[in-house]
């Protein structure tokens, strides 16, 4: 099936073709017709499935058929958990709406608010926003929602995880009750379904990928190593294997800072990116990484959520996440849109419980590979073995059932 078969307009088809796409992804096939028909929608979709275009394309088409937004008014509101994701969704709306008479704006914290107030005076058809800054702008009278037609809650599961649920409730209370509401989430957890019950009316459901499945296009390895030798091993891998672009995950902000400084001392251009960094610093670091000036980007989970880095060759888990599902999100940064990616995890004995939780979650044993010269003094348990820690209270979450697996069709926004 083509994009034309989905009922998209000629201006949108032209924009899609200009970006080099011709085949919808499963989430787009499932979501676009329901959104065009005006239904509320719950969609379970991971990053890398084309989910951003799945709501951006039909949203643009629906808005193009109506009157432009009045001053300080918004016709469609997209709420996202992070600044990076907000910027990415805004870019999608701009690119796919290039041949339509619509205005899209983006607002988030960490930058001056006055320029955002000025841009909102004319009104906008699509506003992409993070919760806190949106509430600030509304309180100052810079934006109103009387003309709102559509609400999109993107990565709703992450907004719950990050504690934004109270802000989301405050935002929804400001909106007209007569509206179309779209909710995108990596999972249909109990909390997400409870949230949907309060905001969506007889929603259609689309689920296109197992919540806890890792992409077939990502090759994964475990490198056992003592904790204090992890920086040495990472530096060795980057230099010896000539990695020009690697996204490295650290569990903490301070750890990201320390690791970036250590890599710099070894002659590797590295930048940390996390919530304590200003928006300008985060933008500079990301632009440097995309351009190739920065060789290693050291990120925390929250900062990396929504990062759109086309063709990223490898991801390294310097620290394993203590929440198993975050492993899936992390390595989903590579191997996107059918490309092959590589994910390496530096694992010490203290992280054996986390590793076991991850392997239970993804239902596979990850191959171990010993790097000569970095053999750990305390080896990891054999695959399938239970450590004392794992026999305690922390066995990790059980696998969650999801819908049919997504294919690898080329699709617009396939990086998101």
Q: What percent of the chain has pLDDT over 70?
A: 86
Confidence band (pLDDT; 50, 70, 90) for 333? confident
Nearest to 272 by CA among 243, 233, 299, 242: 299
Lowest-confidence region among 174-178, 244-248, 332-336 = 332-336
Spatial distance between the Cα atoms of 100 and 102, rounded to a whole number of angstroms: 6
Nearest to 296 by CA among 260, 266, 325: 260
Task: Give the pLDDT confidence of 61-94 residue by residue, as tens digits.
Answer: 999 999 999 999 999 999 999 888 899 899 999 9
For the question of whether the overall pTM of this predicted structure is more than 0.75, the answer is no
- What does the angle CA 28 – CA 24 – CA 305 come to, to the nearest 5 degrees? 55
Question: Does residue 414 have a pLDDT over 50?
Answer: no
Residue 14 has, within 13 A of its CA and on its CB side, a CA count of 8
- As a whole number, mean pLDDT of residues 203-214 equals 70
Return the bridge partners of 410, or none.
Answer: none
What is the phi/psi pair of residue 79, to 5°?
Answer: -105, 125
As a whole number of Å, the CA-based R_g of the chain is: 22
Residue 250: both structure tokens together: 């650290």
Contacts of 363 (CB under 8 A, 6+ apart): 212, 399
Confidence band (pLDDT; 50, 70, 90) for 361? confident
Question: Does residue 402 have a pLDDT over 50?
Answer: no
Asked whether the CA dihedral 28, 33, 36, 42 is positive or negative, the reply is negative
The answer to whether the CB of 298 falls within 8 A of the CB of 182 is no
8-state DSSP, 198: H
The answer to whether the CB of 247 falls within 8 A of the CB of 297 is yes
Neighbours of 190 (CB within 10 A): 8
Residue 62 Cα distances to 32, 143, 167, angstroms = 11, 21, 27
Confidence band (pLDDT; 50, 70, 90) for 337? low
Spatial distance between the Cα atoms of 293 and 138, rounded to a whole number of angstroms: 39
Task: Give the pLDDT confidence of 274-318 residue by residue, as tens digits.
Answer: 878 887 888 888 889 988 999 999 998 766 665 667 778 899 999
Q: How are strands ordered across the β-sheet holding 296-299?
A: 218-224, 341-347, 314-317, 246-249, 296-299, 270-273
Q: What is the pLDDT of residue 320?
A: 94
Task: Give the pLDDT confidence of 140-189 residue by residue, as tens digits.
Answer: 999 999 999 999 999 888 888 778 889 999 999 999 999 999 999 877 77
Q: What is the pLDDT of residue 301?
A: 79
Match 């929608």 to its residue by tokens.
Answer: 41
Contacts of 349 (CB under 8 A, 6+ apart): 226, 376, 378, 379, 380
Return the bridge partners of 76, or none.
Answer: 126, 150
Nearest to 326 by CA among 290, 302, 309: 302
């Amino acid at each position: 099936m083509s994009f034309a078969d989905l009922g998209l307009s000629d201006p949108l088809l032209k924009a899609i073709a200009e970006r080099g796409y011709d085949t919808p992804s499963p989430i787009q096939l499932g979501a676009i017709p329901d959104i065009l028909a005006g239904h509320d929608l719950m969609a379970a979709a991971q990053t890398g499935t084309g989910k951003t275009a799945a709501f951006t394309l039909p949203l643009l088409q629906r808005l193009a058929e109506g009157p432009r937004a009045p001053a300080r008014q918004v016709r469609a509101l997209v709420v996202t958990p992070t600044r990076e994701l907000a910027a990415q969704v805004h870019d999608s709306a701009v690119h796919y709406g290039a041949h339509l008479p619509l205005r899209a704006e983006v607002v988030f914290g960490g930058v001056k608010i006055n320029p955002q107030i000025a841009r909102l005076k004319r009104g906008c058809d699509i506003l992409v926003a993070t919760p806190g800054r949106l509430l600030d702008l509304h309180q100052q009278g810079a934006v109103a929602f009387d003309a709102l037609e559509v609400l999109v809650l993107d990565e709703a599961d992450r907004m719950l995880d990050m504690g934004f649920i109270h802000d989301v409730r405050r935002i929804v209370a400001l909106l007209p009750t007569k509206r179309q509401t779209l909710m995108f989430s990596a999972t249909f957890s109990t909390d997400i379904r409870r949230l949907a019950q309060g905001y969506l009316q007889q929603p259609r459901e689309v689920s296109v990928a197992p919540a806890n499945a890792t992409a077939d296009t990502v090759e994964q390895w475990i490198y056992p190593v003592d904790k204090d030798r992890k920086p040495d091993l990472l530096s060795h891998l980057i230099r010896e294997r000539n990695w020009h672009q690697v996204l490295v995950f650290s569990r903490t902000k301070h750890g990201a800072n320390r690791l970036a400084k250590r890599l710099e001392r070894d002659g590797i251009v590295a930048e940390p990116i996390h919530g304590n960094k200003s928006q300008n610093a985060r933008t500079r670091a990301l632009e440097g990484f995309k351009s190739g000036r920065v060789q290693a980007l050291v990120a925390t989970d929250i900062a990396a959520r929504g990062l759109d880095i086309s063709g990223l060759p490898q991801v390294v888990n310097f620290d394993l996440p203590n929440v198993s599902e975050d492993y899936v999100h992390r390595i989903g940064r590579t191997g996107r849109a059918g490309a092959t990616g590589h994910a390496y995890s530096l694992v010490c004995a203290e992280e054996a419980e986390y590793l076991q939780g991850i392997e239970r979650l993804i239902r596979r044993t990850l191959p171990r590979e010993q790097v000569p010269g970095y053999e750990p003094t305390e080896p990891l348990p054999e695959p399938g073995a239970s450590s004392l820690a794992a026999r305690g209270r922390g066995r990790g979450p059980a696998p969650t059932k999801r819908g049919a697996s997504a294919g690898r069709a080329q699709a617009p926004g396939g990086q998101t």
